[in-house]
């Protein structure tokens, strides 16, 4: 909402509060109220009875009789003999009422600014541990809010749910039947899973992992969309394979690595320890520690030397950016804070940044830090953020 429109709406609400709103203004106010959820929140809070005492105290400070007497006096000194004094008094009353509406509208406008900050702060939340677990029978469980800390699969496997992590307890007399679970992590979430073979998986925002409750056969295969860090339990006889949404395969025996494979982005595998094989159709590359494989939309796989720990720092509470564009930073922050970024120009979108930022900071803190090292400005509109040249 721009400043002029903001004040216009404040005037309408002031008229509503003072019971002098006409039909046309009421229709305009109703149209604004119904335009968005945030407008309804602002309006309801401003007219709420809990705010009435403070508003009435302000109104009582307005000496309307003083306004009226001053205007009457000026009119009387300049009146024409042909003008009826009663008409002048009515004009004076209208002007005084206008002053009242003007003053009250200024007060309401200040309320707007305060409520907008409060509402925005409540809308944009820092990411946290949250996930939905879909069992083999299709039952979906909200792991953040479920009271029962122990979940049972249909084969009797016990799943412990505790403090942002689920852990599968291996079943000794398991049936030779594959039962799959699906972990869905929403935007603004993260979660940790310990599989029945002891492999630990940290899953990032806007990601999902499908995996068998128990592994059978010669291979341990899981399916990833999004980003996850794997700490694979060593088993030389049963290689661990991660398959991504674009059919990329990462095969390991016992190692730790990060896979980032969001749709419409390059798939990136970064090895922290051990050895992995990255495969796409007939193309294969082998990675050693601190190596990275990038699979792009053209179907090619390239490798490069990196500091692997910086690509998995997200699971340890850090955003790490090494000479990346503001557009790429926006993609990371949008998934974590569940917000959308918009840029006023390609120039702003392609600005490059480097730095380490705390993952659990409020978004405003992140934005302020980026503003200090650049010539950009972040403007927050509910769950949207506009980035422009300062």
pLDDT digits (tens, 9 = 90+) for 327-346: 999 999 999 999 999 998 89
Enter the DSSP assignment of 343.
E
Stretch 36-52: mean pLDDT: 66
Where b means 16+ CB within 10 Å and e means fewer, 119-131 reads: bbeebbeebeebb
Q: In terms of domains, do 12 and 150 share one?
A: no
User: What's the burial of 19, exposed, middle or buried (CB within 10 Å: 0-12/13-18/19+)?
Assistant: exposed
In which band, very low, low, confident or very high, does the pLDDT at 22 lie, cut at 50, 70 and 90?
A: confident
Per-residue model confidence (pLDDT) at position 337: 94
Question: Higher-confidence residue: 124 or 60?
Answer: 124
Q: In terms of domains, do 134 and 49 share one?
A: no
Which of these, 10, 8, 5, lies nearest to 112 by C-alpha position?
10
**CB < 8 Å & 24+ apart, contacts of 141-146:** 143/191
Q: What does the pLDDT look like over 132-189, one tens digit per residue?
A: 999 999 999 999 888 778 898 888 889 999 878 999 998 776 666 789 999 999 999 9
Query: Which residues touch 314 (CB under 8 Å, ≥6 apart)?
Result: 204, 227, 229, 320, 359
Which of these, 355, 367, 353, lies nearest to 310 by C-alpha position?
355
Stretch 115-119: mean pLDDT: 54
The helix, strand and coil proportions of the chain, stated in percent and rounded to the nearest 5, come to: 35, 35, 35
In which band, very low, low, confident or very high, does the pLDDT at 98 lie, cut at 50, 70 and 90?
A: very low
Per-residue model confidence (pLDDT) at position 6: 57
Q: At what angle do helices 3-17 and 37-47 cross, to 10 degrees?
A: 40
Least confident of 36-45, 102-111, 197-206: 102-111
The CATH number of whichever domain residue 250 belongs to comes to 2.60.120.1440
Range of the domain at 327: 317-389
Q: In terms of domains, do 148 and 297 share one?
A: yes
Backbone angles phi, psi at 221, to 5 degrees: -115, 130
Q: In terms of domains, do 184 and 91 share one?
A: no
Q: In terms of domains, do 293 and 205 share one?
A: yes
Copy the structure tokens of residue 35. 């335009």
Q: What does the pLDDT look like over 276-332, one tens digit per residue?
A: 999 988 889 999 999 999 998 888 899 999 999 999 999 999 999 999 999 999 999
Cβ contact 6:42 at 8 Å: no
Per-residue model confidence (pLDDT) at position 2: 47
Q: In terms of domains, do 48 and 135 share one?
A: no
| Domain endpoint, select from 69, 92, 123 | 123
Which of these, 253, 249, 132, lies nearest to 181 by C-alpha position?
132
Q: In terms of domains, do 321 and 261 share one?
A: no
| Domain endpoint, select from 99, 123, 147 | 123
| Domain endpoint, select from 275, 310, 345 | 310
Would you say residue 115 has pLDDT above 70?
Answer: no
Residue listed under structure tokens 């709103």: 21
User: What's the pTM value of the predicted model, to 2 decimals?
Assistant: 0.71
What is the number of structural domains in the chain? 3
Question: Higher-confidence residue: 136 or 93?
Answer: 136
Q: In terms of domains, do 65 and 186 share one?
A: no
Stretch 240-252: mean pLDDT: 94
Q: What does the pLDDT look like over 357-382, one tens digit per residue?
A: 999 999 989 999 999 888 899 988 87
Query: Which residues touch 221 (CB under 8 Å, ≥6 apart)?
Result: 212, 241, 243
What DSSP string describes 321-342? EEEEEHHHHHHHHHHHHT-EEE
Q: Please provide the average confidence, as pLDDT, over all residues in the chain.
A: 81
Per-residue model confidence (pLDDT) at position 229: 98
Residue listed under structure tokens 């003072």: 18
The CATH number of whichever domain residue 335 belongs to comes to 3.55.50.30
Would you say residue 91 has pLDDT above 50?
Answer: no
- By DSSP bridging, strand 340-343 and strand 384-389 are parallel
Between CA 51 and CA 55 the distance in angstroms is 6
Per-residue model confidence (pLDDT) at position 221: 96
Per-residue model confidence (pLDDT) at position 47: 65
Between CA 289 and CA 366 the distance in angstroms is 31
Q: In terms of domains, do 256 and 373 share one?
A: no
Would you say residue 252 has pLDDT above 70?
Answer: yes
């Amino acid at each position: 909402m721009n400043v002029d429109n903001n004040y216009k709406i404040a005037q309408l609400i002031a008229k509503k509060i003072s019971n002098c709103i006409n039909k046309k203004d009421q229709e305009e106010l109703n149209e604004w109220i119904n335009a968005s959820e945030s407008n309804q929140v602002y309006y309801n809070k401003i007219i709420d009875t809990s705010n009435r005492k403070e508003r009435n105290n302000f109104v009582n400070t307005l000496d309307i009789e003083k306004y009226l007497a001053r205007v009457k006096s000026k009119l009387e000194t300049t009146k024409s003999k042909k003008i009826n004094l009663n008409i002048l008094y009515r004009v004076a009353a209208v002007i005084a009422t206008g002053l009242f509406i003007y003053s009250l509208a200024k007060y309401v406008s200040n309320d707007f600014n305060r409520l907008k900050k409060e509402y925005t702060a409540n809308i944009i939340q820092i990411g946290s541990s949250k996930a939905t677990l879909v069992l083999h029978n299709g039952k979906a469980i909200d792991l953040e809010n479920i009271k029962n800390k122990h979940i049972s699969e249909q084969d009797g496997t016990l799943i412990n749910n505790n403090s942002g992590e689920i852990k599968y307890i291996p079943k000794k007399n398991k049936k030779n039947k594959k039962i799959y679970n699906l972990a869905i992590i929403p935007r603004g979430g993260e979660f940790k899973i310990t599989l029945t073979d002891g492999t630990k998986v940290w899953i990032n925002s806007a990601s999902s992992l499908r995996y068998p409750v128990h592994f059978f056969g010669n291979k341990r295969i899981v399916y990833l969309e999004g980003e996850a860090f794997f700490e694979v339990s060593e088993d030389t006889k049963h290689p661990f394979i991660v398959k991504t949404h674009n059919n990329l395969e990462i095969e390991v025996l016992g190692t730790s690595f990060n896979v980032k494979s969001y749709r419409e982005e390059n798939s990136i595998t970064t090895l922290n320890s051990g050895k992995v094989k990255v495969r796409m159709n007939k193309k294969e590359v082998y990675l050693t520690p601190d190596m990275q494989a990038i699979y792009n939309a053209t179907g090619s796989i390239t490798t490069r030397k990196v500091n692997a720990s910086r690509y998995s720092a997200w699971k340890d509470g850090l955003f790490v950016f090494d000479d990346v564009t503001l557009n790429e930073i926006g993609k990371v922050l949008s998934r974590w804070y569940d917000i959308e970024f918009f840029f006023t120009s390609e120039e702003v979108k392609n600005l490059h940044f480097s730095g380490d930022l705390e993952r659990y900071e409020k978004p405003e803190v992140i934005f302020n830090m980026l503003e200090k090292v650049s010539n950009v400005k972040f403007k927050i509109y509910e769950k949207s953020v506009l980035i422009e040249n300062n």
